[in-house]
Amino acid sequence: MIIKTDCKYFRGDIPCKPHKTKGYHCEDCPEYKKIEGNILIIKLGAIGDVIRTTPLLRKLKAEYPNHQIYWLTYTPEILSDNWVDRKLNATLENLELLKSMSFDWLINLDKDALAISLTNSIKARRKSGFTIDEFGHAKPISNEAENHKWTTGLFDDVNKQNTKSYPEEIFEICGYKFNKEKYILDIKKELDRNWNIDKSKKVIGLNTGCGGRWVSRLWPIEYWIELAKNLLEENYEVVILGGEHEDEKNRHISQKSKAKYFGFYDLQTFMNLINHCDLVVTAVTMAMHLTIGLNKKIVLFNNIFNKNEFELYELGKILEPDFECDCYYSPTCENNCMQYLLPEKVLGTIRKFSKS
């Protein structure tokens, strides 16, 4: 019996899709797709970083349409089945699998200990990004990686001089030119819900959280309440967004402003809720990347990062305090500089971009 193990549909332990659906065997299968090579992407997390790395898939698929793309990450559920052939969670079993294989190209865009160790131990004819030095530190594999994301991660003053977006930097690390390739996200319509949202109005989502680590990015709760009230007075539909950590705060904002809050959800359901919005106001967090990936308008708050690293694809505007905050890349901010970004400025920006 002929077994074509180099077919994209071949599974090795269970029947392939062409056999299950049409009864084909390898020797006479018209759907045979020969694998010409393997590419491995290592981008473990955070989830927002995984999402904003997905534009790279568009370039890889165009240049290597018959290669099999593997992606190792802590959040494989965010990746599209149509663009990634093997989505691998960073489990012991999958790490051992990768170490036993050989790749044509390994792309590691993380600098944490696991990622750089794997770059060193996994066999590949070509490697890009970051690996490990003799002291156990991350080091760039090429000049492109050194100029992008290595020295900028070591020195704040160098980081502040950067004028390129994250997608532009990772494209250059891989030897490509970034041409505004967009994020890739899949919406699972079956997880949608019958939320009480008035779609006859412009729907504004207010994402009030920013994760538990970088609390320096938080906007004052009284500002969220004021903004929500003003938007409702101007006949917008307002939906409060957030995760479990923001639940109590969001209930308070909803109660005080009368904006709608439906609770917190799993990732895929949260994506569906954002997909009902026309514009989302958010700090730099996962919801920002979901909003961009869903091609929604965005008003982005930033105070501690270099704004050049964010690619908005002309979907909105970045708002910052009128002065340079001294908490650059700091988890906390003694001056609470976000208090100087006032609700009326945010409201004016929403008016402008919600009409376009």
Q: DSSP string of 21-57?
A: HH---GGG-TT--B--EEEEEE----HHHHHTTTHHH
Q: What six digits make up the tokens of 119?
A: 């770059």
> Model confidence over 74-101: pLDDT tens digits?
999 999 999 999 999 999 999 999 999 9
Q: How many domains does the chain have?
A: 2
Contacts of 4 (CB under 8 A, 6+ apart): 10, 26, 29, 32, 34
pTM of the model as a whole: 0.91
Q: Is residue 25 situated within a structural domain?
A: no
Assign 331 a pLDDT band (cuts: 50, 70, 90): confident
CATH of the domain at 108: 3.40.50.720
Q: Is residue 28 situated within a structural domain?
A: no
At 5 the three-state DSSP class reads: coil
At residue 66, the pLDDT reads 94
Domain hosting 68: range is: 35-173
Helix intervals (H) in the chain: 17-22, 47-51, 55-63, 92-99, 113-121, 143-145, 151-154, 156-160, 166-173, 221-233, 247-257, 267-275, 286-293, 343-355
Q: How far from 324 is each of 271, 303, 307, 320, CA to CA, in Å?
A: 33, 8, 12, 9
At residue 88, the pLDDT reads 97
Average pLDDT in the 36-45 region? 95
Distance CA 116, CA 110 (A): 7
Q: Is residue 82 situated within a structural domain?
A: yes
Are 98 and 137 within one domain?
Answer: yes
